[in-house]
Amino acid sequence: MSRMEFNVPGRASKVLEELYKDMERRIESSPFGLCPIDMSRAFLEMCHAQSCGKCAPCRIGLGQLKNLMDDVLEGRANMETLEIIKETAETVMDTADCAIGYEAANMVYKGVVGFRDEYISHIETGKCTCNYKQPVPCVSLCPAGVDIPGYIALIREGRYADAVRLIRKDNPFPTTCGYICEHPCEARCRRNIIDDAVNIRGLKRMATEFAGYVEPPKCEPSTGKRVAIVGGGPGGLSAAYYLQLMGHQTTVFEIHEGLGGMLRYGIPNYRLPKDKLDNDIQAILDTGVEIKYGLRIGKDIEIDTLRKEYDAVLITIGASTDKKLGIEGEDATGVVSAVSFLREAGCGGGMDLTGKEVCVVGGGNVSMDAVRTAMRKGAKKVSIIYRRRIADMTALREEIDSAAEEGIEMMTLKAPSKIEKNEDGSVKGLWVTPQMISAIKGGRASVKPSGEEEFMVPCDVLIVAIGQDIETKAFAEAGVPISDRNLIQSNNAGTFENVPGVFAGGDCATGPATVIRAIAAAKVLAHNVDEYLGYNHIITCDVDVPSTNTDDRKPCGRVNMNLRPAGERKCDFEGVEEPMTLAECNQEANRCLRCDHFGFGSFKGGRAIEW
């Protein structure tokens, strides 16, 4: 027998590795409303099984913690029990010999502090007050509450126009969202327990693609009420759509010459082709929305005038200006905000970058839009300057990957310190301070100067993409409350205490967010305006959702959208994402587990048929 042998994993350890993966995916798709104590007790039991058993605090302590938590869960505990749990956890945290022990105890400790109220409630009532509320994970994570299992079932049956109709009940931008929604719905998709989340956004795109133009539903009889909507972005237009359906006449005031706000002037054509956006907007306009272009509040028209002329006024101006870096030399020519850079590019114009070197500061989605647009504008070299690591960027992973594929340089761990100007006042380069990654604070890795020398990154154009701001001045002057964070300060209902008949919501009230959040806000606004006007209209959809099928849910890979080759796509502004084939679409639609029916759905109802 040889003294050394290859280490070949046995069958048991192979299966165990598989189980670890199963468990990871399961935790990722954990349902809502679980008892935090029961869950952390279950985690603790797993941690205890990982113990090597050498040191006493881990071997015995974790087990005793589990017993104490059982007492809480079974209604046998008192406040002293909670104290013993805390003290025991502290002992194991501070004395266990390795991370298996002390981090397991730390999880218990975090709970004792973090959900102390739940512990006390268990102890006092002897019961758990948690329960499942929304049984369908995708629907509960969609800010607009779109009936996702419903429209996927319709796609599965090839009823694409009906799918679009069903989506529009909660979201009048199905095409747009099919392209660029950040799809929070997919995060806890139960399909993940089997293999991978359903490609919900992709399916929505395919529904709109196969359906073509779908007429909006008929509006309710006219109420004779008129509503002014300031801002023709996704929020304003969504509110206009629902208010029209309710029978009110809306007028949208838009300062630009096109509708869609950031969808038209922020998101590049290659991500959201404008003819696709127009498809959504056409259906919205077909409900009878009036548009007045080119009027700026405070200059061409006053809020007070709108209040006099209309029965209600809605402010949905979004977040259309930029945030400044606040460093020396920011006034140099060639330093532009991502917002204005993308807006000009979106209008088909903007600066010619042929042969130029471009730096973009920031790591969010807007930054990715800016670098990829700069590349398409002919820049010789485009770099992202970012303080942290790629892993810390807030942009969607696929956006970062796409940018990298298109040849964008990622200069990470570089903090901008000042901007160097040429003699003519134009930008020469960006000085950066090298950073090193450091302690995790608030769940996110922080950075600190690495001590290396500062250096200058030469550039001809510097694009700042570190956030958006809101143009609140004219509204402040009209008496609309503005918060310290420069947000329009409406309450959760979109109303103001002392300004009756005026409503605000979306990015301008909550800060820059996503399209689907703006749409969700628009639903709230439309409902509350309707109520303010003395009505109680219901938005619903007469499409019946197909019953479920009884197919086995065998593991099957997720269909991802293909991208055009990077070398080709980076040269034009045409859409980068290719559609699914019909076969892919059908297969993907069939992966949906129909949580509206199976599991808690059939008990507590998986569907809100109206709002």
Partner 1 sequence: MVNLTIDNIQVSVPEGTTIMEAAAQVGVDIPKLCFLKEINEIGACRVCVVEVEGKDKLIASCNNVVEEGMVVYTNSAKVRKHRKTIVRLILSHHDCNCSSCVRNQNCALQTIAKDLNILMVPYKKEISDNNWDRSFPLIKEASKCIDCMRCINVCEKVQAMNVWDLLGTGSRTQVSVSGNRVIRDADCALCGQCITHCPVGALRERDDTTDVWHAIEDETKVTVVQVAPAVRTAWAENYELDEAHSTMGHMADALKRIGFDYVFDTTFSADLTIMEEGTEFISRFTSGDTADMPMFTSCCPGWLRMLKAKYPNLVGRLSTAKSPQQMFGAVIKSFFAEKIGVKPENIVTVSIMPCVAKKEESTMELFHEEYAGHDVDIVLTTRELNRMMATAHIAPESLEKIQCDDIMHDITGAGVIFGASGGVMEAALRSAHYLITGQNPDPETFKDVRSTREVEGYKEAEYHIGDAVVKAAVVSGLGNAEKLIEKCLAHEVHYDFVEVMACPGGCVGGGGQPIHDGEELATPRGAKLYELDRNEKYRFSHENPDVQKLYENYFEKPNSHKSHMLLHTSHKVEGF
Q: Which residues here bind partner 1, judged by CB under 8 A?
A: 33-35, 38-39, 42, 73, 125, 127-132, 547-554, 597-598, 602-603
Nearer to partner 1 by Cβ, of 381 and 553: the residue is: 553
* Shortest distance (Å) from residue 193 CB to partner 1: 14
* Shortest distance (Å) from residue 415 CB to partner 1: 45
Nearer to partner 1 by Cβ, of 102 and 600: the residue is: 600
* Shortest distance (Å) from residue 602 CB to partner 1: 5
| Nearest alpha-carbon partner for 516 in 167, 283, 248 | 167
Nearer to partner 1 by Cβ, of 35 and 499: the residue is: 35
Nearer to partner 1 by Cβ, of 40 and 337: the residue is: 40
* Shortest distance (Å) from residue 293 CB to partner 1: 43
HSE-up of 293 (CA within 13 Å, CB side)?
A: 6
* Shortest distance (Å) from residue 24 CB to partner 1: 19
The answer to whether the beta carbons of residues 100 and 52 sit under 8 Å apart is yes
* Shortest distance (Å) from residue 118 CB to partner 1: 11
Nearer to partner 1 by Cβ, of 129 and 491: the residue is: 129
Report the C-alpha gap between 46 and 233 in whole angstroms.
49
| Matching residue, tokens 């901008």 | 416
* Shortest distance (Å) from residue 49 CB to partner 1: 18
Nearer to partner 1 by Cβ, of 587 and 602: the residue is: 602
Nearer to partner 1 by Cβ, of 75 and 114: the residue is: 75
Length of the chain: 611
Report the C-alpha gap between 350 and 344 in whole angstroms.
5
The answer to whether the beta carbons of residues 297 and 479 sit under 8 Å apart is no
| Nearest alpha-carbon partner for 366 in 302, 426, 323 | 323
The answer to whether the beta carbons of residues 251 and 231 sit under 8 Å apart is no
Nearer to partner 1 by Cβ, of 444 and 554: the residue is: 554
Question: What would the two tokens of residue 568 be?
Answer: 């080709």
Query: Phi and psi for 492 in degrees, rounded to 5?
Result: -65, -20
Amino acid at the residue 597: H
Nearer to partner 1 by Cβ, of 122 and 414: the residue is: 122
* Shortest distance (Å) from residue 510 CB to partner 1: 31
Q: How far is CA 135 from CA 138, 192, 203, 415, 596, in A?
A: 9, 16, 21, 44, 7
Beta bridge partners of 250: 227
Nearer to partner 1 by Cβ, of 40 and 383: the residue is: 40
SS3 of 363-402: CCHHHHHHHHHHHHCCCCEEEEECCCCHHHCCCCHHHHHH
* Shortest distance (Å) from residue 169 CB to partner 1: 22
Query: Phi and psi for 197 in degrees, rounded to 5?
Result: -60, 150
* Shortest distance (Å) from residue 28 CB to partner 1: 18
Report the C-alpha gap between 544 and 251 in whole angstroms.
33
* Shortest distance (Å) from residue 142 CB to partner 1: 23
* Shortest distance (Å) from residue 359 CB to partner 1: 51
Nearer to partner 1 by Cβ, of 133 and 397: the residue is: 133
* Shortest distance (Å) from residue 576 CB to partner 1: 39
Amino acid at the residue 334: G
- The b-or-e profile of 431-441 (16+ CB within 10 A means b, else e) is bbbbbebeeee
SS3 of 535-563: CCCCCECCCCCCCCCCCCCCCCCCCCCCE
Nearer to partner 1 by Cβ, of 47 and 181: the residue is: 47
Nearer to partner 1 by Cβ, of 70 and 330: the residue is: 70
Nearer to partner 1 by Cβ, of 34 and 456: the residue is: 34
| Nearest alpha-carbon partner for 530 in 248, 309, 240 | 248
Helix (H, G, I), strand (E, B) or coil at 307: helix
The answer to whether the beta carbons of residues 316 and 234 sit under 8 Å apart is no
If 0-12 CB within 10 Å is exposed, 13-18 middle and 19+ buried, where does residue 582 land? exposed
Nearer to partner 1 by Cβ, of 39 and 327: the residue is: 39
* Shortest distance (Å) from residue 121 CB to partner 1: 9
Instruction: Work out the angle at residue 236's Cα, subtended by the Cα atoms of residues 235 and 237, and round it to the nearest 5 degrees.
Output: 95
* Shortest distance (Å) from residue 75 CB to partner 1: 9
Q: How far is CA 227 from CA 95, 141, 395, in A?
A: 66, 30, 36
Beta bridge partners of 436: 448
Report the C-alpha gap between 471 and 318 in whole angstroms.
9
The answer to whether the beta carbons of residues 412 and 390 sit under 8 Å apart is yes
Residue 221 DSSP code: P
Beta bridge partners of 469: 321
CA 305 to chain centre: 36
